[in-house]
C-alpha cells in the first residue's frame, strides 16, 4: 500500500471536544477503508500567514498513513465539505520519493556531462598548445 501524508488546518475556534470528535470521524473513515496511521504530528494552534475564511489562526495536524488508493477520495470529499477545515494538503509520499530520486539522478548525469565537457576542452587546449610548440 502506498504511503500518504496529509496536512490539515482546522478552525482554531473549535473546542477540544469538537476537534477530537471530527478527527475521530476521519480516523474511523480511514480505518473503514483499510488504512493505518503510521505517524501523527500535532502542531496545535498557529497564526496563519494570511487570512483563510476570515480566520487568522488555525489548528495544524499532520498524518502519515498507509492506505489503498480507494481511501483517498472519501477522505478528501469529507474534508472539502466540512466547515471545520480551513485547508488541507494531501501527498502521495511514494510518488514524491520517486520524483526526488529521479531529480537526483538527472542532476548527477548533468554534473557528469559538464565535468566530461570541461575535461574534453582541457584536452583540446593541451593538444593545441603542444601543436603550437
- pLDDT, one tens digit per residue, over 14-59 is 999 999 999 999 999 999 989 999 999 999 999 999 999 899 999 9
63, 39 in Cβ contact below 8 A? Answer: yes
Assigned domain for 48 exists: yes
Task: Give the confidence band of 6 by pLDDT, cuts at 50, 70, 90.
Answer: very high
Structural domain contains residue 119: no
Question: What is the Cα–Cα distance from 9 to 79, expressed in whole angstroms?
Answer: 10
Q: Is residue 98 part of a domain?
A: no
- 14 lies in a domain? yes
The enclosing domain of 45 has a CATH number of 3.30.70.60
Task: Provide DSSP, 75-88.
Answer: HHHHHHH-SSEEEE
For the chain, the domain total comes to 1
What integer pLDDT is reported at residue 20 of this predicted model?
Answer: 94
Nearest by Cα to 77 from 115, 113, 26, 28:
26
Residue 131 placed within a domain:
no
Residue 88's Cβ-side half-sphere holds a number of Cα atoms within 13 Å equal to: 24
Which domain does 42 fall in, by range? Answer: 3-93
Model confidence band, residue 133 (pLDDT cutoffs 50, 70, 90): low
Strand partners for 47: 57
pLDDT at 111 exceeding the cut of 70? yes
pLDDT band at 124 (very low <50, low <70, confident <90, very high): confident
- Is 43 within a domain? yes
In a domain, 51, yes or no: yes
Does residue 78 belong to any structural domain of this protein?
yes
Q: What percent of the chain is modeled with pLDDT above 70?
A: 98
Tens of pLDDT, residue by residue over 71-107, are 899 999 999 999 999 999 999 888 777 788 888 888 9
What is the Cα–Cα distance from 7 to 89, expressed in whole angstroms? 5
Helix segments in 33-92, DSSP class H: 72-81
Amino acid at each position: 500500500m502506498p504511503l500518504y501524508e496529509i496536512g490539515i488546518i482546522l478552525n482554531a475556534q473549535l473546542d477540544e471536544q469538537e476537534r477530537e470528535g471530527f478527527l475521530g470521524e476521519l480516523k474511523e473513515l480511514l480505518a473503514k477503508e483499510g488504512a493505518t496511521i503510521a505517524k501523527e504530528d500535532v502542531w496545535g494552534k498557529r497564526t496563519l500567514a494570511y487570512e483563510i475564511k476570515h480566520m487568522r489562526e488555525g489548528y495544524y495536524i499532520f498524518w502519515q498513513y498507509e492506505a489503498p488508493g480507494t481511501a483517498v477520495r472519501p477522505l478528501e470529499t469529507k474534508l472539502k465539505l466540512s466547515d471545520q477545515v480551513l485547508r488541507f494538503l494531501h501527498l502521495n509520499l511514494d510518488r514524491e520519493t520517486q520524483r526526488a530520486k529521479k531529480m537526483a539522478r538527472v542532476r548527477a548525469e548533468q554534473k557528469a556531462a559538464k565535468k566530461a565537457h570541461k575535461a574534453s576542452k582541457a584536452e583540446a587546449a593541451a593538444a593545441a598548445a603542444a601543436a603550437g610548440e
